[in-house]
């Protein structure tokens, strides 16, 4: 039974990856078309590639979530207890946030970045870190595993999109300052709007991150008897929190709006990725058993 | 803001080295190892406190400066905010068309007083603080009535709560942490732990620790149970559950039974007992050359791998004529490798074997220098069994005894399972070797406060980030040709990307309320 469900999970994951590849291609074709459009803003009706790409993302995400759910049922606990499962579930959350954020603002132009992120995450996760279903180690047997890790992944998802927007904002600001740049930028929101969107998305991420930090401390107190011990993972969670706190202050600081705060968002996101990859895999610490 | 931003970014950078170099607080053995691996670099790093980054002078000064600037910012802002809370919304600006979201509607079906009264009611319902003004009626100029409204005071309140709560977290950690203590104790099944200073294997008191605050209680480890995975062959032998059954004795109260599990500490009289480790503690008896029992005890062996191949040391200082020391490996399920060496293939007791290398001579503990019970200094000793000695290493199963080479005594690996319990010979192995649990005992009176301030900071953060603070004005200007012109505009106070939409929606609702058609 366990093996069957796990094999369903694998089939769903590989199918999701195939659909994401198609979606990524469609998103890039859309960007290419924007480049060729001489820069006039066109409504979504005139964007066939984007519409196909977004439909594919939804299909891919359904498969992706099914993959995570099968894995969860196969083992009888949440599918984010090791590196493979975390890469599986966190990328599903990233794509999910990307899909649902469209109800708030049309940010489909970062679709290529999001699908690429999901593909890399799933690709590396399945090939390098796949482990067969194992029982839950007693150290992770706590409802805080459900809360703490899930909210961390949710925060990460917002940071991914926030950083993508900050990156586009930088390109857009460059174009607006009269430098030679990509034509497709003319079809995207202006730098100030991008900055506002990026700020809002990152702030939501920051709130989740704060919650992750506190939930993690409460769990650490339950599990290890101290809520804070400067374990390497704790250190990096703290560093990320401080960088984003700086990012929020930058918005209220004269001379720090625009490019500088965009760079802070990108640095913050790089630290999140560093924490997720290098710290998980190469740094020694109490969180290391959750890695592989 | 610039100072805060600078100090925040500096703090982020300053925290990095502590994750690159092992820290004494989190990984003391890592620091020792680092000194061994980098004998030249380590002392230099140590002089800049690289192994104690988070208590170092430079890291502390950054966060203390940050908090100083925070206090210097929060106090005047609180005063200002208190005043603002009591201040009514300011006078309506003369020209609204320069402000955000300016909209105007011409209306003939209503008069200024009705329009402004309905605007006032609408704004109040939407959570605004309102005040009406009558515009200066200069000779010949049209008169106007207006309502000035402000909302989102909670944004600043939340912001101040957030920052004050951070100061609260730091203060609780700094002051409350001084009253905390934590200690470690290895307890073998059947043995007690008493919460007094001398009974701890190691102990770390806070700055203001007073021994008298330690509540007098006693825990007895009745049983330590481990469940291993046996069905899933991908994880065969993987531990699924650890349970320490204990009896708690509190003076003057009835003793009771309880459990300590991973993630489920035991709370007794304000201190928590955590289960952090476990292993086997073979019960060993040594007699010396004269036939006297020189040693009998359960000796905790430290696990070396997932199948609990364990390493332990037995010191027999009372043996005559010479002291005896033994370094041993314990294999809960022994299996011989091709080389002949033993290894353990399962963490439970299926075929427990103890192998011992035996030394005689001076244990080096008589001169009062403290020595670890987990290591044996063999410099002043002669090896008599195992290694290069003539006799092979001793191998024992539970219940077996053997003569030590050279007639220096005997060693017995006691079978701890009760012979009267009627266990069949096969299941008898299961209890033949006692287990030990290593407990961490923590007492930290500050943690409730830290949690309180942390929760307050999150609530403050949410209100400060997502409640917009804005002023809006609705003005009714009498027109010379009859009728009125309604004007709407807003002003963001702080970050407010939704302002224009909010003004537009207000105008729409107001027009609807008055029964007007929107026509710009």
Domains of chain B, first to last: 88-152+468-514 (3.30.160), 181-278+427-443 (2.60.98), 283-413 (no CATH)
Which pLDDT belongs to residue B520?
45
Pick from A209, A251, A218, A272: which is nearest to B458 by CA? A209
Q: At what angle do helices B57-86 and B2-15 cross, to 10 degrees?
A: 150
Residue B458 has its nearest CB partner, among A138, A142, A214, at: A214
pLDDT reading at B319 higher than 80: no
Please check whether residue B455 touches A, CB under 8 A: yes
A230 contacts B25? CB cut-off 8 A: yes
Best probe of the B interface among A204, A221, A283, by most B CBs < 10 A, is A221
φ, ψ at B435 (rounded to 5°) = -100, 160
Q: Name B244's bridge partners.
A: B224, B260
ipTM of the complex: 0.88
For chain B, positions 119-178, list CB contacts with chain A under 8 A: 173
For chain A, positions 59-88, list CB contacts with chain B under 8 A: none
Please check whether residue A105 touches B, CB under 8 A: no
Q: Report chain A's C-alpha Rg in angstroms.
A: 20
Confidence of residue B136 (pLDDT cuts 50, 70, 90): low
What rounded mean pLDDT belongs to chain B? 86
Residues of B in contact with A238 (CB under 8 A): 15
Please check whether residue B442 touches A, CB under 8 A: yes
In contact, A189 and A169? CB cutoff 8 Å: no
Which pLDDT belongs to residue B219?
92
Least confident residue range of A142-151, B187-196, B410-419, B423-432: B423-432
What's the gap in Å between the CA of B439 and the closest CA on chain A? 10
Which range, A127-131, A157-161, B98-102, B214-218, is most confident?
A157-161
Q: Name B134's bridge partners.
A: B145
Pick from A88, A201, A101, A216: which is nearest to A151 by CA? A216
Which pLDDT belongs to residue B145?
87
- CB-CB neighbours of A252 under 10 Å: 14
**DSSP per position, B120-186:** HHHHHHTT-EEEEEE----TTSPPEEEEEEEE-HHHHHHHHHHHHHHHHHHHIIIIIGGG-EEEEEE
What rounded mean pLDDT belongs to chain A? 89
pLDDT reading at B308 higher than 60: yes
Q: How far is residue A68's CA from residue A79's CA, in Å, rounded to a whole number?
A: 6
B497 contacts A196? CB cut-off 8 A: yes
Which pLDDT belongs to residue B138?
57
For chain B, the maximum distance between any two Cα atoms, rounded to a whole number of angstroms, is 126
Please check whether residue B262 touches A, CB under 8 A: yes
Which pLDDT belongs to residue B423?
45
* More confident: B175 or A27: A27
pLDDT reading at B382 higher than 50: yes
Which range, A11-15, B32-36, B420-424, B461-465, is most confident?
A11-15
A217 contacts B454? CB cut-off 8 A: yes
As a whole number, mean pLDDT of residues B234-251 equals 89
- Give the per-residue SS3 of A32-97: HHHHHCCCCCCCHHHCHHHHHHHHHHHHHHHHHHHHHHHHHHHHCCCCCCCHHHHHHHHHHHHHHH
As a whole number, mean pLDDT of residues B310-325 equals 86
- Give the per-residue SS3 of chain A: CHHHHHHHHHHHHHHHHHHHHHHHHHHHHHHHHHHHCCCCCCCHHHCHHHHHHHHHHHHHHHHHHHHHHHHHHHHCCCCCCCHHHHHHHHHHHHHHHHHHHCCCCCCHHHHHHHHHHHHHHHHHHHHHCCCCCCCCCHHHCCHHHHHHHHHHHHHHHHHHHHHHHHHHHHHHHHHHCCCCCCHHHHHCCCHHHHHHHHHHHHHHHHHHHHHHHHHHHHHHHHHHCCCCCCCHHHHHHHHHHHHHHHHHHHHCCCCCCCHHHHHHHHHHHHHHHHHHHHHHHHCCCHHHHHCC
Please check whether residue A222 touches B, CB under 8 A: yes
A253 contacts B261? CB cut-off 8 A: no
Q: How far is residue A13's CA from residue A33's CA, in Å, rounded to a whole number?
A: 30
For chain A, positions 113-142, list CB contacts with chain B under 8 A: 131-139, 141-142
For chain B, positions 2-21, list CB contacts with chain A under 8 A: 2, 4-5, 8-9, 11-12, 15-16, 18-19
Best probe of the B interface among A81, A138, A155, A233, by most B CBs < 10 A, is A138
B53 contacts A225? CB cut-off 8 A: no
φ, ψ at A132 (rounded to 5°) = -65, 165
What's the gap in Å between the CA of B514 and the closest CA on chain A? 31
* More confident: B142 or A176: A176
Residue B229 has its nearest CB partner, among A135, A141, A196, at: A135
Please check whether residue B1 touches A, CB under 8 A: yes
B9 contacts A135? CB cut-off 8 A: no
Rounded (10°) CA dihedral A269, A262, A238, A246: 180
Confidence of residue A211 (pLDDT cuts 50, 70, 90): very high
Residues of A in contact with B239 (CB under 8 A): 137-138
pLDDT reading at A123 higher than 90: yes
Q: Is B254 exposed, middle or buried (0-12, 13-18, 19+ CB in 10 A)?
A: exposed
For chain A, the maximum distance between any two Cα atoms, rounded to a whole number of angstroms, is 62
Q: Name B247's bridge partners.
A: B220, B257
Count of A–B CB contacts within 8 Å? 132
For chain A, positions 167-206, list CB contacts with chain B under 8 A: 196, 199-200, 203, 206
Shortest CA distance from B163: residue in chain A: A245
Q: How far is residue A46's CA from residue A30's CA, in Å, rounded to a whole number?
A: 10
Which pLDDT belongs to residue A141?
86
A137 contacts B263? CB cut-off 8 A: no
Which pLDDT belongs to residue B424?
45
Contacts of B206 (CB under 8 A, 6+ apart): B177, B178, B179, B180, B181
Pick from A44, A57, A49, A47: which is nearest to A27 by CA? A49
φ, ψ at A87 (rounded to 5°) = -65, -35
Which pLDDT belongs to residue A73?
92
Report helix, strand or coil for B119: helix
Residues of A in contact with B454 (CB under 8 A): 214, 217
Q: Is B391 exposed, middle or buried (0-12, 13-18, 19+ CB in 10 A)?
A: middle
As a whole number, mean pLDDT of residues B130-136 equals 83
As a whole number, mean pLDDT of residues B309-328 equals 87
A142 contacts B263? CB cut-off 8 A: yes
Confidence of residue B428 (pLDDT cuts 50, 70, 90): low
Please check whether residue B450 touches A, CB under 8 A: yes
Please check whether residue B59 touches A, CB under 8 A: no
What's the gap in Å between the CA of A35 and the closest CA on chain B? 29
As a whole number, mean pLDDT of residues B237-246 equals 90
In contact, B387 and B412? CB cutoff 8 Å: no
For chain B, positions 190-219, list CB contacts with chain A under 8 A: none
Q: Is B498 exposed, middle or buried (0-12, 13-18, 19+ CB in 10 A)?
A: middle
Confidence of residue A85 (pLDDT cuts 50, 70, 90): very high
């Amino acid at each position: 039974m366990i093996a069957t469900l796990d094999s369903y999970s694998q089939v769903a994951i590989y199918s999701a990856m195939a659909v994401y590849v198609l979606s990524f291609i469609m998103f890039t074709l859309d960007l290419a078309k924007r480049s060729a459009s001489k820069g006039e803003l066109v409504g979504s009706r005139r964007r066939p590639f984007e519409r196909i790409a977004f439909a594919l993302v939804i299909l891919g995400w359904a498969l992706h979530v099914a993959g995570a759910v099968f894995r969860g049922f196969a083992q009888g606990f949440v599918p984010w207890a090791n590196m493979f499962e975390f890469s599986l579930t966190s990328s599903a959350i990233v794509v999910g946030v990307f899909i649902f954020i469209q109800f708030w603002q049309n940010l489909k132009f970062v679709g290529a970045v999001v699908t690429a992120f999901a593909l890399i995450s799933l690709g590396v996760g399945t090939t390098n870190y796949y482990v067969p279903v194992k029982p839950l180690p007693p150290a992770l047997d706590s409802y805080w595993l459900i809360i703490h890790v899930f909210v961390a992944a949710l925060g990460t998802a917002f940071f991914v999109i926030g950083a993508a927007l900050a990156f586009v904002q930088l390109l857009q600001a460059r174009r607006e300052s009269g430098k030679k740049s990509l034509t497709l930028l003319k079809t995207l929101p202006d730098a100030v709007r991008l900055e506002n969107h990026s700020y809002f998305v990152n702030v939501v991420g920051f709130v989740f991150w704060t919650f992750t930090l506190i939930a993690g401390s409460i769990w650490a107190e339950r599990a290890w008897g101290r809520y804070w011990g400067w374990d390497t993972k704790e250190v990096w969670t703290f560093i990320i929190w401080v960088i984003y706190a700086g990012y929020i202050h930058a918005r209220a600081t004269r001379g720090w709006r625009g490019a500088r705060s965009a760079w802070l968002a990108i640095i913050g996101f790089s630290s999140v990725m560093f924490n997720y990859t290098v710290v998980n895999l190469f740094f020694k610490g109490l969180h290391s058993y959750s890695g592989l | 803001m610039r100072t805060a931003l600078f100090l925040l970014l500096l703090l982020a950078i300053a925290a990095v080295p502590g994750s690159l170099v092992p820290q004494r607080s989190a990984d003391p053995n890592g620091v020792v190892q680092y000194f061994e691996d980098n004998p030249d670099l380590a002392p230099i790093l140590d002089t800049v406190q690289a192994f104690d980054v988070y208590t170092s002078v430079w890291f502390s000064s950054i966060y203390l400066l940050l908090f100083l600037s925070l206090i210097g910012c929060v106090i005047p802002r609180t005063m200002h905010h208190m005043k603002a809370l009591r201040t009514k919304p300011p006078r309506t600006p003369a020209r609204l068309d320069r402000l955000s979201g300016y909209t105007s509607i011409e209306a003939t079906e209503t008069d200024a007083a009705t329009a402004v009264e309905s605007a006032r009611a609408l704004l109040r319902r939407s959570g605004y603080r309102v005040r009406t003004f009558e515009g200066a009626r200069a000779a010949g100029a049209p008169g106007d009535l207006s309502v000035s409204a402000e909302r989102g005071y909670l944004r600043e309140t939340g912001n101040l709560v957030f920052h004050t709560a951070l100061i609260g977290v730091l203060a609780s950690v700094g002051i409350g942490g001084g009253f905390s203590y934590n200690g470690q104790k290895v307890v073998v099944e059947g043995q007690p732990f008493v919460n007094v200073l001398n009974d701890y294997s190691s102990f770390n008191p806070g700055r203001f620790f007073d021994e008298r605050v330690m509540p007098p209680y006693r825990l007895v480890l009745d049983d330590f149970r481990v469940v291993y995975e046996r069905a899933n062959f991908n994880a065969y032998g993987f531990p699924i559950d650890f349970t320490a059954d204990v009896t708690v004795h509190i003076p003057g109260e009835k003793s009771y039974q309880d459990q300590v599990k991973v993630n489920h500490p035991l709370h007794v009289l304000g201190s928590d007992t955590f289960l952090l480790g476990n292993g086997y503690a073979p019960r060993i008896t040594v007699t010396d050359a004269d036939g006297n029992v020189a040693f009998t005890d359960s000796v905790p062996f430290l696990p070396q791998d997932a199948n609990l191949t364990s390493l332990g040391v037995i010191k027999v200082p009372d043996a005559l004529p010479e002291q005896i020391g033994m370094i041993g490996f314990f294999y809960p399920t022994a299996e011989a490798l091709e080389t002949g060496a033993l290894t353990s293939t399962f963490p439970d007791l299926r075929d427990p074997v103890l192998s011992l290398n035996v030394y005689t001579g001076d244990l080096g503990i008589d001169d009062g220098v403290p020595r670890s019970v987990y290591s044996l200094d063999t410099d002043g000793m002669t090896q008599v069994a195992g290694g290069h000695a003539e006799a092979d290493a001793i191998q024992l199963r539970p219940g077996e005894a053997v003569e030590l080479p050279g007639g220096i005594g005997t060693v017995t690996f006691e079978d701890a399972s009760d012979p009267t319990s009627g266990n069949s010979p096969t299941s008898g192995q299961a209890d033949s070797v006692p287990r030990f649990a290593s407990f961490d005992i923590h007492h930290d009176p500050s943690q409730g406060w830290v949690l309180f301030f942390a929760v307050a900071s999150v609530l403050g953060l949410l209100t400060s980030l997502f409640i917009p603070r804005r002023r809006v004005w609705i003005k009714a200007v009498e027109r010379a040709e009859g009728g009125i012109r309604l004007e709407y505009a807003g002003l963001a106070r702080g970050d407010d990307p939704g302002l224009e939409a909010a003004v537009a929606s207000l105008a729409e609702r107001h027009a609807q309320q008055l029964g007007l058609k929107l026509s710009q």
